[in-house]
Structure 1
């Protein structure tokens, strides 16, 4: 089978840091074009916009949308209607309701739509899921704190409506949570802190539960300095399971467990190749729904303005 010919739309930090190396390491797919107003790659066909790329006749089979979530729905719709498979960076959109029409469009056109949650491909996630299928969880604590100035320097879109603010990293924790727990969870309360000059929160605390009464507490912060913290601790009847460093490490009662090496984005592309081969889509909206529910239930406070 010939490799999937992929175009990246939006050649920003995440595309350069993660997508390009993963593509180079994944059999069955190759980068043949870039659509970006502000960046290009030597030796790769370049276009300013997706519309320009599709109108050009350049031979592509799929697109990876690495643009900010605002406006991504229109790009995905355009690509699907042009007969292209689509990868959506996380979060898959700026709203929950805009995704159902895209799923329908993928079904109508017979194309694959893949809403990626890269943290679900961290090496600790599937072992944790298997453990929790046998061990009864009693409580979950999420501590997800990072420095926005390090990971999103100068990216003003993240503070605009639909940019998610601290939920841009926080949704990674929620994507792991919804993958590893045996039962679905729902939001029971939230506190969101909005900088005076921003439309998205810079910090958040969430309380969640499942139908069995499991309590989940999440503490999210976008102003962490020094060491970054991406931990999920699950107290169970068989000990405390901790996924740390975003799921790169796993321990039980403080004892490290053996894991395969990290390969989140390479695993995303390997999964996409398989989805295309099988004619399937993969669009799980549970993490984005939890964020939307947090905004619905939240108590809001205004804090000091944020400046890069």
Structure 2
């Protein structure tokens, strides 16, 4: 029997990823949406989240696809109403917000899932297996994309809590924290803030154990989402295409056949069935540390 889910925030990520993943799964039924402007054909739409919670007690799961700034209040209401909650990445504006949501979920006896879709990339599990038990001696993340393409006109990404270039960069960090045998930590960072903007548009970050990261949100043409890891007495591992291509010592490997968002919803069904939560905040910790340690540079103004 399928579980009923409500998507809150019908924007690009919901249309492109969440709706198709739900529609393709026998475990889920998209029973409602909540959005000020968007809708999904054939699915009841609510403009008010409180009304949806009141009128649809049959909906077990709320999937929050809102920007991070308003997400805490919606998640808090859903958990207090006894609904299971999926959080798009990043799970919140701050670590403390998500810790509070964890507490509320435990108190209500419901599932909270802080999703990291890039961890479900087709090559990620293989990269983790290749590095298992190894000592990492160097690594490089190169994550460069076009903000105008992926977030057209979305001013919230440059507002406090929007993370700026760390909005895509946290995808790379979610993979890094998944595949490394031992954790690393930020040791220094340099952040480029467009004149008049509140979040960075580019960044260079150095981690312990020789790992570095370069982020750029102004790359046009082909986009770059690469992670390269070198282990002592072990393989050279490269993940390309955002974690969906795995190369070991220069040879491309077979990967999972399951796409990222279907894998997330399969994981959510598993968690709800077991009565468990999954809230790993390690990628957000790295972002917070980079923001804390980062040297700020003011660069040319940016407009969509």
TM-score range relative to shorter protein: over 0.9
1:123-162 maps to which residues of 2 (within 5 A)?
Answer: 123-162=122-161
**Cα distance in 2 between the residues matched to 1:27 and 1:145:** 36
* CA apart distance, 1:262: 4.8
Match of 1:221? 216
**Cα distance in 2 between the residues matched to 1:126 and 1:252:** 13
Aligned partners of 1:248 and 1:262 also within 8 Å: no
Change (3 A) 1:60 1:216: same
**Cα distance in 2 between the residues matched to 1:187 and 1:124:** 25
Aligned partners of 2:17 and 2:261 also within 8 Å: yes
Unaligned runs of 5+ in 2: none
Match of 1:307? 303
Match of 2:266 among 259, 270, 275: 270
Match of 1:230? 225
**Cα distance in 2 between the residues matched to 1:262 and 1:234:** 24
Aligned partners of 1:194 and 1:200 also within 8 Å: yes
**Cα distance in 2 between the residues matched to 1:27 and 1:119:** 23
**Cα distance in 1 between the residues matched to 2:23 and 2:42:** 14
The runs of 4+ residues in structure 1 deviating greater than 3 Å are none
The number of residue pairs the alignment matches comes to 303
**Cα distance in 1 between the residues matched to 2:303 and 2:258:** 33
**Cα distance in 1 between the residues matched to 2:280 and 2:133:** 24
1:78-157 maps to which residues of 2 (within 5 A)?
Answer: 78-157=77-156
Aligned partners of 2:134 and 2:181 also within 8 Å: no
1:39-54 maps to which residues of 2 (within 5 A)?
Answer: 39-54=38-53
**Cα distance in 2 between the residues matched to 1:36 and 1:224:** 31
* CA apart distance, 1:259: 1.4
**Cα distance in 1 between the residues matched to 2:109 and 2:270:** 15
| Residues 199-255 of structure 1: CA deviation (Å, up to 9, x unaligned) | 01000000111xxxx211000000011110000001122231100010110112221
Aligned partners of 1:27 and 1:270 also within 8 Å: no
Aligned partners of 1:69 and 1:163 also within 8 Å: yes
**Cα distance in 1 between the residues matched to 2:21 and 2:218:** 29
Match of 2:67? 68
CA RMSD, Structure 1 to Structure 2 (Å): 1.0
* CA apart distance, 1:42: 2.1
Match of 1:163? 162
* CA apart distance, 1:188: 0.3
| Residues 73-107 of structure 1: CA deviation (Å, up to 9, x unaligned) | 11101000001000000000011111111101111
**Cα distance in 2 between the residues matched to 1:192 and 1:122:** 27
1:241-260 maps to which residues of 2 (within 5 A)?
Answer: 241-260=237-256
**Cα distance in 1 between the residues matched to 2:65 and 2:8:** 6
Match of 2:291 among 267, 283, 295: 295
Unaligned runs of 5+ in 1: none
* CA apart distance, 1:134: 3.7
| Residues 20-44 of structure 1: CA deviation (Å, up to 9, x unaligned) | 1111122211100000001112221
* CA apart distance, 1:51: 1.4
Q: Does 1:14 align with 2:20?
A: no
Change (3 A) 1:57 1:19: closer
Specify the SS of the correspondent of 1:153.
coil
Match of 1:176? 175
Change (3 A) 1:240 1:57: closer
**Cα distance in 2 between the residues matched to 1:40 and 1:18:** 14
Aligned partners of 2:133 and 2:181 also within 8 Å: no
Deviates most, 70-79 or 237-246? 237-246
